[in-house]
């Protein structure tokens, strides 16, 4: 076991990790942050999406020790001060949540999209979310949620 320091959601965190452990495992099993979901362990589903130094990544494909001292933002950081992020609110209201297992990853991916592109076209939204599988919704309500959130975030 090796020591590891990360800055997770703005807080310095230290933990022991085993060689080969992914950041996803460390977040879920060692740092009590189970919001990043484990659905494929090979970067195919996006359920474990996080931002590392601002870049959208699958935490299952990040070797935890290689993220030493990095800034990591998980879904748990989105609702600031207890208030839902506009995307989180839009996901609930647009019916974009069913079983919800894909939802944290989708919300993080959509947040990265709207940060970089406040007015995405529908096709840009689709391309940006193409790494996040959802098995319940058929994606229609997810598109609607992103549309609503973009409106709320960037227009008055």
Partner 1 sequence: MEIARDLDDALSLAAELPEAELLAGGTDLMVEINFGRKRPDAVVAIDRVAELRHLARNGRVRMGAGVTYTMMLEGGHGSAAVWEAARTVGSPQIRNAGTLGGNLGTASPAGDLLPVLAALDATVLLRSAHAERGVAFRDFMTGPKRSVRQPCEIIVGAEWDDAGPAQTFMKVGTRNAMVISVAGLALVVDRARRRVGVGLGSCGPTILGAPEAERFAAGLFDEAGWERPSAPGEAARREFGGLVAGAARPIDDVRGTAAYRRHVVAVMADRAIARVGAIA
Partner 2 sequence: MTLSIPTRVRGVIGESTPRPDGVPKVKGEFAYASDLWRDDMLHGATLRSPHPHARILGIDTSRARGMAGVHAVVTSEDVPAGARFGLMKRDQPPLATDRVRYAGEAVAIVAADDIERAREALRAIRVEYEPLPAVTDPIAALAPDALLVQDDGNVIDEVQVLHGDARAVAPVVVSGEYEVGMQDQAALGPEAGLAVPDDDGGVTLHIATQWLHEDLGQIAPCIGLPMEKVRLVLAGVGGAFGAREDVTLQIHACLLALRTGRAVRMTYGREESFYGHVHRHPARLFYEHGARPDGTLVYVRATIVLDGGAYASSSPAVVANAGCFAAGPYRVDNALVRCVGAYTNNPPTGAMRGFGAVQSCFAYEAQMDRLAAACGIDPVEIRDRNGLVEGDRVITGQPLIGSAPVAELVERVAAAPLPAHRSSDPLELPGGAGNLTHGEDVMRGIGYAVGFKNVCYSQGFDDFATARVRVLRDEDGPLVRVHTAAAEVGQGLVTVCQQIARTELGIERVELDRADTSIGSAGSSSASRQTWMTGGAVQAACREAKAELETRAAGRGATLAIIDVEELLGTPVDRTVTHRHRPTEERTTHMQDDGHVAFLLAAHRAVVDVDTGTGLVKVVQIATAQDVGKAINPLAVIGQIEGGIAQGLGLAVMEELIVRDGLVRNASFTDYLLPTILDMPPVIADLVEHPHPDAPYGAKGVGEPPAISSTPAIVAAIRSATGRDLPRVPVRPDDILGLSTQSGPPAGRWRIIPGEDPRKAVRA
Q: State the Cα angle at 150 between 81 and 147, rounded to 5°.
A: 125
Q: Residue 56's Cα: distance from chain center in Å?
A: 8
Proportion of the chain in helix, strand, coil states, percent, rounded to 5: 40, 15, 40
Nearer to partner 2, 10 or 138 (CB): 138
Alpha carbons 46 and 113: distance in angstroms, whole number? 14
Which of helix, strand or coil describes residue 38? coil
Interface pattern 61-100 for partner 1 (x via CB under 8 A): xxx-xx-x--------------------------------
Give burial (CB, 10 Å; 0-12/13-18/19+) of 156: exposed
Pattern 14-53, binding to partner 2, x per CB under 8 A? ----x---------x---xxxxxxxxxxx-xx-x------
Cβ of residue 64: shortest distance to partner 2, in angstroms?
Answer: 14
* String marking each residue 16-35 x if it binds partner 1 according to CB under 8 A: ---xx-x-------------
The residue ranges that bind partner 1 (CB under 8 A) are 2, 19-20, 22, 41-44, 46, 49, 55-58, 60-63, 65-66, 68, 109, 112, 127-128, 130-132
């Amino acid at each position: 076991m090796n020591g590891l320091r990360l800055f997770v959601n703005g807080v310095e965190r230290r933990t022991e990790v085993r060689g080969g452990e992914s950041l996803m495992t460390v977040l879920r099993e060692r740092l009590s942050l189970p919001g990043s979901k484990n659905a494929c362990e090979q970067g195919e589903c996006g359920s474990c999406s996080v931002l590392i130094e601002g870049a959208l990544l699958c935490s299952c494909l990040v070797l935890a020790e290689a993220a030493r001292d990095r800034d990591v933002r998980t879904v748990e950081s989105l609702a600031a001060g207890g208030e839902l992020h506009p995307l989180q609110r839009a996901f609930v209201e647009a019916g974009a949540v069913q079983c919800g297992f894909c939802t944290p990853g989708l919300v993080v991916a959509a947040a990265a999209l709207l940060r970089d592109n406040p007015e995405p076209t529908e096709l840009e939204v689709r391309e940006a979310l193409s790494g996040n599988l959802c098995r319940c919704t058929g994606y229609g309500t997810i598109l609607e949620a992103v549309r609503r959130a973009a409106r709320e975030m960037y227009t008055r």
